[in-house]
Structure 1
Amino acid sequence: MARLSPTAQGIVLMLAAIFLFSTMDATAKALMDRYAPMQVVWARYAGMMTVVAVILAPRLGPLLRTRHLGLQLLRSAFLFAATLSFFTAISTMDIAAATAVMQVHPVILTLGAALLLREPLGPRRIFGILAALSGALIVIRPGADLFSWTALLPLLGGAFYASYALTTRFLGRDEPILTSFLYTAIIGTLVASVLTVPVWQTPSVGDAAIFLGLGAVGALGQFLLIRSLTMAEAGAVAPFGYAGVVFASLWGFLAFDEVPDRWTFLGALVIVGAGLYVWHRETRARAAAATA
């Protein structure tokens, strides 16, 4: 890694983070054969909270100080809703299809930034947004014989995740990213602990270890993602986030004997293509603004 340029290191770290996230998702899907989705969400947050508390223990006091408690609560709520929506979706859907639909979040973020941050929204960006949403509809196919309303959950999760990213932009101006990370873990764990009570099922010793590992993998993925974005510009590493569709397809095939159908492949290509197009337009617009 030391011989690589900072941008190349950022790309490697981004790919590693996305691989860990896909591993976490596959583990969650396997656990949901035996446990309610809410309990698996709890495991994801409780495991992450344990790891974060150990790593950040010497700095907990300073990191807990925030000037935007309300925004931290809102941001954490968005991520919690995105996680619950996605985990519930993959409990009944192929993991590759759900992951592909979830990838609409970058273009939804573009729409949110235009509406809330007054960023320009020209016809090409509108085209990218509509194309990504069309790709999502190709995957979930409303009106098809096998359609269920659960198939809309990853689309809802993408909207929640875009909202989470948008609030992160606001907080990133004034507060350390580790403060936001810590509040995400604390708030998610507290909320999930309350909501898990009605569906709680005591796990076996082996499953308890998997629960802890689920959170640890998610926490490590978050740390690598943060490190990636500090090593390289976001615009350089962002497109590699779409590797999640590939990793999810591999896990689906290897762990669950899931083979994406032609509609999932087509929809995923449309979503990824639209996302890359919007990313390209965003990059060019920022470069033109910097030059001006």
Structure 2
Amino acid sequence: MKTFYLAALLTITSGLLFTFSHSIIKQVNYIGPDIHPLEIAFFSNVFSALFYLPIIIKSNFGILRTDKLSKHVSRAFFNSGALTCFYTALVLTELADVIALSLTGPIFVTLGALIFLGEVVTAKRWLAIIGGGIGAFIIIRPGFEEINLGLLFVLLSAGFAAGSKLFAKKLTETDSAVTCSAYVAILQCPITFVAALFFWLPPTLTQIFCLMCIGVLVAGAHIFWVQAYKYAEVSALEPFWFLRLIWAAIIGWLFFSEIPDTWIFVGGAMVVLASTYIARSEVKQNNFGANQLLH
């Protein structure tokens, strides 16, 4: 049980760091020329990779030893797609709206865990999928509101992120959290750089500083995120990502004068309540301990 709570704390901390980085992404284009999301993703990856450089050197490149390089590359492509789509959504849409719809992530992760990892999906977890789908419908409200292109990018991002999380789950069976995080940061650099060249604009010094902060926050968030999956199942930890909606609403209101629509909270709350209940039920039903949570 203590192991599960540790995993939950790591997930919550990771979500908070990611939310701070998202708020800085929105700020970047307020203080200089409009940088394309692909370029933001590239700089974020560069500074994340630099964050790991002292760790890599200190270990004499030991943390880069792996027998699963192809899986790390695959994860980097999935994560690059998720980052680019998500950053695009942040530029086009209010922060709370983006985070609220990104709560549909458990739908993609749970289905992916069932299909690709062979994890058992109980009736209660299927209930989470249904609840998440209804919540997403309320947030988007097709037919009642004009479809925001940014929200479609959020759904694409959620699909890519689910693939990244499933690869992370398998990789942590043999590789450390730092190894997984370092590889995804390093490998994403050439991937996003090639794509960003088509939209390149020189950033200002202030923007470069903001991009550096994004990279450091993302690097730290990835370490906590991947480490959490060493102690609990992917689908059991997903509900704790939902606290990001609260962080996003507060930050959006304080720094961007964004007042979320009431329906954003209604849809988000449906997903939060349903999935949190399911996660707690799974813990009680299975009486999770260290042996069951470590993979």
TM-score of the superposed pair, with normalisation by structure 1: 0.86
Please give the secondary structure, in 2, of the residue aligned with 1:203: coil
Measured in 2, the distance between the counterparts of 1:138 and 1:273 equals: 15
Counterpart of 1:175?
175
Q: Is the 8 A contact 2:112 2:163 kept in 1?
A: yes
| Cα deviation, residue 269, structure 1 | 0.4
More off after superposition, 43-52 vs 115-124? 115-124
SS in 1 for 2:61: helix
When residues 109 and 7 of structure 1 are mapped into structure 2, their CA distance, relative to the original with a 3 A threshold, is closer
Deviation per CA, 1:184-224: give whole Å up to 9, x if none. 01111111111111211111122111111110121122334
* Correspondence for 1:19: 16
- The answer to whether the 8 A contact 1:107-1:275 is kept is no
Cα distance change on mapping 1:36 and 1:50 into 2, 3 Å: same
- 8 Å CA contact retained: 2:177, 2:227: no
233-242 or 259-268: bigger deviation = 233-242
1:28 has 2:7 as partner? no
| Cα 1:60/1:168, change in 2 over 3 Å | farther
Confirm or deny: 8 A CA contact 1:64 1:183 kept in the other structure: yes
Match of 1:84 in 2: 84
User: What SS does the corresponding residue of 1:91 show, helix, strand or coil?
Assistant: helix
CA distance in structure 1 between the partners assigned to 2:11 and 2:69 by the alignment: 29
Structure 2: distance between partners of 1:195 and 1:286? 45
Cα displacement (A) at 1:7: 7.4
Structure 1: gaps of 5 or more residues: none
Which ranges of structure 2 fall in alignment gaps of 5 or more residues? Answer: none
Give 1:108 shift: 2.4
Match in the other structure for 1:184: 184
Match of 2:131 in 1: 131
* 2:147 counterpart SS class: coil
* Local SS of the residue matching 2:273: helix
What is the alpha-carbon distance in structure 1 between the residues aligned to residue 172 and residue 148 of structure 2?
38
Amino acid of the structure 2 residue aligned with 1:136: A
- Determine if the alignment matches structure 1 residue 111 to structure 2 residue 111: yes
> What count of residue pairs does the alignment treat as equivalent?
286
Distance 1:234 1:118, change over 3 A: closer
Deviation digits for residues 101-141 of structure 1 (CA, Å, limit 9, x no counterpart): 11222342222111223333344322220210221121122
Q: CA deviation at 1:284?
A: 4.1
Within 5 A, what are the aligned runs for 1:60-99? 61-99=61-99
Verify the 8 A CA contact 1:136 1:155 in the aligned structure 2: no
Alpha carbons 2:178, 2:223 under 8 Å: kept: no
Q: Tell me the TM-score normalised to structure 2 length.
A: 0.86
What CA distance in whole angstroms lies between the structure 1 residues aligned with 2:229 and 2:118? 24
Question: Cα–Cα, structure 1 residues 283 and 161, in superposed 2: closer, same or farther, change >3 Å?
Answer: farther
Identity among equivalent positions (%) equals: 23
